[in-house]
Each structure stands twice: as C-alpha cells, then as structure tokens.
Structure 1
C-alpha cells in the first residue's frame, strides 16, 4: 500500500530514529509573496511574515528530522489564538504540531555527516517555495546537490476537484481508493493531466507521490545552512533588469526623421516576430519529435534486458495474464510499485502483481525477478513467472489464500479477522526466521531483504508463513562485511544503521525484532491513533523493560496470549536481542532459530536501549564493500 507523508512524520526517516549530534543549522526563511504568510516549523515554532520580511530559524544539533511549511489565511483573537486555512495555529508564535494539508512542506533531516532535504507536495500545495543550500564553514557549493525549486503557482491552476480553502489538495488524499491517481497513471476514473501528474508537471523537483525515487531527495554535508523562500522569483538565476536608458533629445534632425524611424522600428518588430515564430515552431516540433522517440524507446525497452537473465522463470505474454485475471478484475491488494490481482492459470490459482506505470520500479522489478527467480524455499513465496512486454511489467506468484500477516495481527474495529492464538503466532515467527535464515546464510550470495514487515509476510490456508516482495533486496558478496546502498524500506521497520547507508543482513534482523513485537502486542510499531506517549511501540518497549512491566505489551484482546504469558515474555526477550542498536550485537537468524527450537537461550546481557541517539552506537565496521556509490537517502514508501 502506498502510505503518504502524514501530519506527524517525514518520508525521509522513520520517526523513531533520533539523529546523531552534529552542527546547529540555520534556516533563513523569507516571504516574497504579495500576501502575509505565517510560516511554522517543527522544531522551532512559528512567526508572522509580511511581504518582504524574513525569519532566521536556528535548529539546534541533535533535534532530529523536521519540516517548515507556510500557513495562509490566518486570523487571531485578542488572546493570540486563532486558525488558518492551512496548517495548525496555536497562536502567532506557537506551533504545537505539524500542519494539516494542503501545505507545501520543506522536509529535512540533519546530522550524521550528511543532511537530506526535499520539498513534499504529498500533503497538497498552497505556496510556491524554494529550498536552497547556503554552504557554511568554508565548504564549497560543490559538496551539495542542488536544492529543490517549486516556483510555479500550482494553486492558481488547481483542478476543481482538488481545490480547497487555502490551497490545492493532494490527489492521493482525495482519491484514496484509486492508486492510479496517486501515481499519475491513466485509469477509468483518473486522467493523468488532471490530478497527480498535475503536481509533477507543476513542480518536478518535489516529492509528489509515494513512489517517487531518490531524484527528489537532495543532500548536503552536515553544517550547511539553508534558505527557504516563499513565492520565489520564477528564474532566480536571471540577471537583474537593466536600468532604463536616458530619453533621446528629440530636437532638430531627430524630430525630422521621427516618421522614418517609426516605420523602420515597426518593420523590424514585424520581421523579428515572424523569425521568432519560425524558430519557436521549429523548436516545438523538434521537442515533440524527441518526446515521441523517447516514449517509443520506453515502450519497447526491456525485452533485451530480460532475455539474457539465467535461470529465468516462465515468461508470460500480457494477453495471457489479462485472460488469467479476467482483465484484472479482482484486486487482492497494493504494493509499493503496483497492484496485486487474483487469477487462474490452468489448474493453478495465481497472484499477479502489475506495476503501475512504465519505468516506475524497473530496478525493483529486475531485482525481484533475478533474486526470487533463482531461489526456492518453503518459506519464500514462489515466483511462477513474469511479463516484460513493451511498457508492461508483471510478476506472477503462487496464490496465498489467507493474505498478508497484517490482516491477522492488528486489532481494529473494521477488521473482522479472528484473533490468532499463541501457537499460530509462534509458528509464523518461526517461519519468518527460517525464510530469512535461508536468504542470509544458505544462498551463494547473502541476500538482504530490506523490507521485512507484516505486509510482506503472506499466509497459506494453514497459516504457514512465506516472505514476499523482493523488490528492495540487495545481494552481498560473502567476502564483503557490508554494503553501501541508498536508504530503502518502510518507516517503523528500519534499523538505526540506515542513517549511514552502510548495512548488512543484520538490518533484516532488526526489522524481524519489530515484527515479532507487533505480533506479540497486536498493534503497529508506529500508531498515531494512540496517545502521544504510546505512538511508538519500540520506545514503549524500552520503558516497559526498564520498569519490569513487559506484561503490559501482550495483546490484551487475546485470552490465549495471556494463558501463555511466560512463553510470550521469552519471545519478547528474543525480540529485544534482535533490536540491539549495534548491529554486531544482534544474533544471526540461525541463532534465532536455535532459540525458537529450544536448543539455546537468548542472549541475556543486552542493551535495553533500542532507539539510536548517537552514531557511535551503530556498530559500523571500517572496511566496507560497495555495490552502489553513496547516494542521497531513498526511502520507498510503505509497500
């Protein structure tokens, strides 16, 4: 599923990862709009900026991720309390929580050696914005990637269905049931030129929908200062306009030649206009030709790439899969790069994942076909085949009738699935461990899944669990201690070492620990529907283990869980071993299996801090093997 940037967290980093201590950052925030803006920041508060005014925001070191956004249409009473058409207003100078959409968001994380920042339109759009680095401490500008610009006034052209007071609402919020509207694809109910593509074309630098790649994330060395400009000039690189030349002395001969001068000027203007039109028409024709050629190339690329892959599974035609799924009639769910449909091929029921748009997730598609197509294990979902035909990218899996694990473990009023008993939950945990152990320790190359979460654990009719969705997986050579890669995964399940982008398969072990705690407690790790002190399960685990109140975390809706309390508490201790901040102190998955089977005990001498607060706690080795150059943070949206 595509989870969007919410009102309380950034897509850049999970909420629970506190950043290591670094240099303080200064944001120079200026209002060049013709109207008053009430910018707000978390952390930092808020101010009122009339046209032309500026605000210097100092963000102390170690404060973690944050955001800046413009509030518009604000009004206040005599006590300073008020409301805005966009965002929260607890007073002119107070900002108690993140803004409500629509709001053009400047998002950032600072510290750890590298800052990451972007402009996000996922919560809508209300004010054009620049977010530019201002290198400090003698650093050259070449150390920074360019900053994002969103200078177009999208709101003035906002489609009627997205227009709301104060701005332009995100299509993903308006059409929550239509994935196509959130990715810019054509469907029977969503025209691409009207909704999400409208945001992309209006502001191509911005993070516009949940499947954006790292090209919309920018980076600078820690210690860089930044400039945020509301309603920036359309072209900030243009030179200032020249001053008007002095008026000519219209006397004597000049007055006599005025008529001929006027005729010459008119002729020159007409001739210049004609030449300009010819050049413009030629340029437009060439541009359209190049676009059509590029589109044709994209539509027909891919056949050669897939034809050479060794050990490939069955290759289907698009027509075969159309017929097998009854024209993609029965949708089972959605992943980060596509929707999954039920189908029937011969005597076998199948699940077909269809990527949402040409080019999107192509790297992930190749990774999944190559990875899962060459491995086979009872606790990994079997890849039957694939389709790579023109712009179509589809994966064909075995059908798992019970669906994904999240349906069975999270309590909610609209979830009619029965509660799983303790033995079933224990079996699922064991199966996940065995699947990960195969990937980490039994394949020719270590495979880090990098997106272990309940949505990617599928269940058959007997509640046997299988790991699925290998689109973010990474191969690690046996002679490499770790790999440098872009950030990938899902907020709430990411290991602390993702802050450095230097990871091993132990990142999966941390995610496994989070999933075990979710299975035991019957709730999500990050749950904003709960009270502020209970939003984050792993932080709550820290508090409960230190106060000897672990029983409070056992699923209260399952009487069977309460009956097996001692076994559940032992499983919690195993989860805490997996949640060690230092990756080297986490167990291998083979050790986890030995604990589950009673052949050894979980490590008792563990650190009961599971949330990173400094870089020295990450356990990063000095020698790294690199399969990707270090790049800006890339976090796939929840899949």
Structure 2
C-alpha cells in the first residue's frame, strides 16, 4: 500500500537540500538536557527536535521532531501525544533511571519505559529521523522512535505484524490540527500481509491487498511494478512480517502520512512556493473514509467542507469542527420528547443518500406509512428508511454513522430517502400557532389527511431536490464520479462559448463558470468525433479515472448526438506557449518564467507523461505533446492537457495534424514512416518542447534570409567540447541559470529526439535524470539533424512541410545544391 505513494514519488519535484555538518547538539546525555526553547539538530541538519505548540491557538506543548531546513514546520513524530505540557519552561527531557523521560516539574508525562539500567545512556537524533537511546559504552540501541511511529512513515520505519502476539504496529492520525493525540484512523499490516486503514480500530475501509511475492507488489497497488526512486523490502518469517523502504536519492523531500482526514497522503515539498504539495491520497474520495462526519453528519464529496449537519441539527463541538475534527458529529438543536403526536415529532426527509450502517430491520412487509408509524411509536428510534426495491423498513436506534450524500441517478443503487426524527419546531417548514400546534397543509381526502400530508411533503422536497441536483453523474472504476452536463448547461456556463481560450485539432476550448460552486471551468468542444454514444462514454470515463498532480483533471462531459464536449478544471495561468513565445515589454519582464520555474515545469511534465506511460492500467500515449498542451495552474504548476483524446478521434491523425498549429514540429519520425506508434513518440515530442523551454523561442524561426532550427544548434553546442552551453539560454533570463541543470536538460533533449526509438530514454528515465538520480551520458548527434547540417536541401522539407524547422546558418557546410539536394530531402523525410 505504502509503495503506491513511493511509486508516484518518481514524479516528485527535485528539492536540492543543502546538507552540511551541523554544529548544533544532537545528543541528550547526563551532561545535556532539553528544556524551554532548546532543540536537538541531527548531524546532517535534516531533522530538529524540541518543544512545539501545534496549530495557532493551542497552549499545549509537546516534544516533537520536524524537518530542520524547511520554512514550514512539519512535525513527523511526537513523544507525549496524549499528555501535553502546559509550561515548557518548567519541563525537561532528560536521561533518568535508565530511561529517556519527559518531566513537567516532578510529574512524569512520558518515558521510553525500559527496565532500569546502571550503565550511562544517551539519546541521539539521527539524520534519518530516528531518535535512538543507546548505552554509551556499547552504543547498542535499547529503544528507538522508529519502533513507535506516530502519523508519519519515514524511510527505514517498519510497520510490522507480530505473528506470535497477533498484534500490529500502527500509524495513527492526529485528533485534529492542534491535538496530536491518537485519532480514530489507523494503518496497520494484518495477518494476510495486506495493509489496511481502520476506523476506531475496528471498521476497515481501505486495503492494499496482500503482498504478492512473485510480482513483488501489493495486489491492489499495481503501480509498484515500476519504481526508480525507492528501494522496497518486504520481510516475513515465522515471527513477524513487515514492509519498509529506503530512498535512493535523499534530495527528494517527501512524506507519507495518515492524515486526520482518514486518508493516507503522499506529499512533496515545493521549494519555489514553500509549500507541501499533495500528489496522491487513498481513499481518493473523502467520503469513502468511514464515519468521517461522525454521528448524523452528512458527507458530500462535492461540497466544502465535506461535512454538514442536517437541518435542525448542529455540530456537537463547533471548536472540533473548526479544527477539522468532525468525529463527534451532530446533535439535535431541540431534544426529543417521546410522543406519538405529529405536533411534537416529525421526520425530515433526506433524499438521495447512502443509508447509514448498522440499521435494524422491522419484521414483516412494510409500506412507507407503516414504517413511519413504527418509528414514531418507538422512543429509541432515531430515523427510518423504506427500501422500495425489497419493501423493507429499516430503523436506526443508535448512532447514525456513514451517512453520505449521493447525486441523483448515481449508479451505486443504494440511494434512498432517509427520514430523520426531529422536533416539530426544528422542521424547515414548521411554524407555531397560538396553541403551539404545527400548521398542516390542507390535503384532499380527510380520512387520510395525516398520511397524505407526509407524502405531499416528501414529494415537494424530492421535487425541489431534483431541481437542485439536476446534474447526472456516471461512476468511474475507482468509485468517483464524472458529471454529465447538458449542452444547454455548458452553453450557459460559457456564455454561448464567447470566451475562447485556444484551439487545435481536437477542438476549441472556452472558459466557463459553474454557479453552484462558483468555480471556473474549461470546456473543450470536440470536433470530428464519430464514435457512438456508448463507446464515447466508455472512453471518457476511462480518461476520467486518470488522475495525477501533473495532469489536468477531467470533471465531466456532454454527449448529445454530435455535440460532444469535455469539462476540465480551469488553469488560471494558461498554456506554456503563452509565457514562452510572447514578445514582452520592459514593464512585463517580471512575468518571464525564471530558470528554476522552467526546470520544474520540465520535470513536472515528464512526471505526468511517465504516469501516463507506466502507471495507468493501459499505457496512454498522448500523441500531441507541445507547449500549447502544457497548462499552468495558479502556482505555475504544470499539468498535461488533452491526454487520452487520441483514442476519441482514432488512429487517423491526418486531419488532426493538418489543423494543429506547430504540432508537426514535434512529430517523431515514425509518424511519417508509417510504423506503429509507441510511447517513444511522446518522448520525441517532449525533447522538442524541452529545447523551447531552454531557448524561450520556437524551435524553428524563419526570417527573410534564413530558417533557424534551434535543436541543430543545441546539439552542436552540447557535443562540442567546451561548447558555450549558456549561449543556448533564453536571453531574457540574462544568464541566471543553474549551469548543471541547463547541461542536463540539453543532453536529455538530445537523447529524446534520437531517430531510433530504442535510442530514446523512457519518460521515467527522463524524470530520474532531471531529478539528478541518474547521470546522463553525452548523446549521439541525431541523424536527421546531422542531415540538416550536411545538406541545405533538407531545409526545403522542413520549410514547406512543417513550416517550422531547419538549422542555424552558422552550421552550414559548403556543398553543391544539385541532384544531391533531392536525395537528401528524401533521406530527411524518412528520418524526420
């Protein structure tokens, strides 16, 4: 399970830690104790340890460990999780009676719990984040924090299962953002060698599947098959089983944590924005976390926050809710009084919900009216539901847990109306007369006035909710949903497609907005789609399941006859080409993408493509990598767009390629030679785009005198001993560049545009090279570019066919432009 995160971490941003030998103290001994604002710092400067107060308002202090060099304090281990210190000035962490202990005054709050030892001891904070208590003479470890993890799994930690005691070691979430005491969610390894996430130590809601020794993966984490950043180990014998990992390159700063949301999360540190960035989480939908919203709380994946209380109820602890702890759930605003009368007790209908767990079935066949009466007569009945498909009556007499809002027409097949028992005074439509009675609607049929009144109320509420939740949804294979929009909805959302963001062979893109959540969207109006309705929906749902931080998220679609549209998240900083190729004035110079940002864009794009090629169930070949399809979010994070659309238009790209500006300048040779297209075609296009990131200009620029082909110049400089690599850089950057990163990028680009597929690296290798994990050798000169250097005739091919390529005139060699020109043009056509 954990390895899922580690696999995805092959896409992590490269964070160059400045490792140095710290002069700070890393050891607690008889001569040094930790108190007040003193801290330990590991010898390499990676981790720091001392007293801290979580959150912004907490007055409690804890002994914790965090990353020393990050600007944002991120705690990875806490000693006294459930026994805070109120005054750090009177508290001390020291060696005492053969243990490491935390004292507040004379009160013992925490201890390593060892049998007393007469030998002198010391506690050392190591650079891997392990606090180790050792004998000063033998240096043998008597106790270590790695055996007592909190909510974070660091490299080297073993989350084990003891086969003798049948007990598991656990990760446990914090209770809330200001309380590190153990929360309700835990991760552990079970006897079947599968990791699972539990609520309250009892209810499982996610599993990794068992360890498959032959494939060396967890059965439900197929992404483990391809990994180049982490070294995985699984061990099992007669006494224990455990899984652990180590990092090949310690420059990647990432963490795996069991969040207080009940999700396991993989995050990486983005140094350019000084923030942790979420790359992956499981379960993917927040509402798949069992009982996340507590008793009576309703979870809705489409709202923020995810939890709400039904009408007539309030959070049991508003402070806990403010601290992102919803486990206490909701309570009624007015306590119930046991009464059969509708003037005192009524039922609030909640349509389209997944019914809570742990219901009790009332025996016998029941209709809705009888079911209501049964619950009304039972003072302990909290709620009821009538299941029409089986004509059953379900009631709840204890906590109502795991109540989840569903959209209309969902495919789970278990959406029903849930009736919650409330005081009449708390009903939405309730009003009080002078006699304290509820006003009742006048319903035709006096003999069944009460029953028809309830039915009428239900109908009104259901109709209003139908209007509210008009949007249908389809369920993807991972359990999440794609919204199904009508053409009219998207026409209104885009103001009749008035604000065009861009376009290409797959269609035009327009900006829009959704009223229900005030979010901006990008709507792609597809052109030339000939697929049938069923096949189109199948392909779109497949695209919707593909999610990665460097891929644009598909939110929904529309399919009405020949009107087929896709709805994506809106990227506020537009596409990469708009930042690279625009002529900027002196006033706009501040918007020029700096080198560090360009390098992160190159790396993030490579990670997104590596995910499409290697981590999806079926390899996804993009087929159209270019700056126009690299979108930038509000933090200039790169996201690959238009992935998966190749399958919607089929394998005949002749129409697409003739209508997409610039695309032909990124085509791999195999597109023209007619051989089968593989993922290496994307690698070629990526290499061409990487050259443009370096130069800040189109690879091909034509003036009245000559045609300039930048990859030709770059390859020559890269392969020339003592070549001026800095001369290739965008002049707007004024030479501000990490020269090693520039060399690495240019070498990688040259490898990517090799004519032979087998000579190009895989995108996963590109990621490793850009991260600095792999060294890159000098590339051979691409044959097609060599042909440009050797023969001017090839310029005719690039100028006329792709309108965008040839070489710099400084690279020309003298030769006769006669019949040899024709033959070399043919050669170039075969290669390019």
Normalised-by-shorter TM-score class: 0.3 to 0.5
Structure with the larger RCO, 1 or 2 (CA within 8 Å, 6+ apart): 1
TM value normalised by structure 1: 0.43
- Structure label with greater radius of gyration: 2
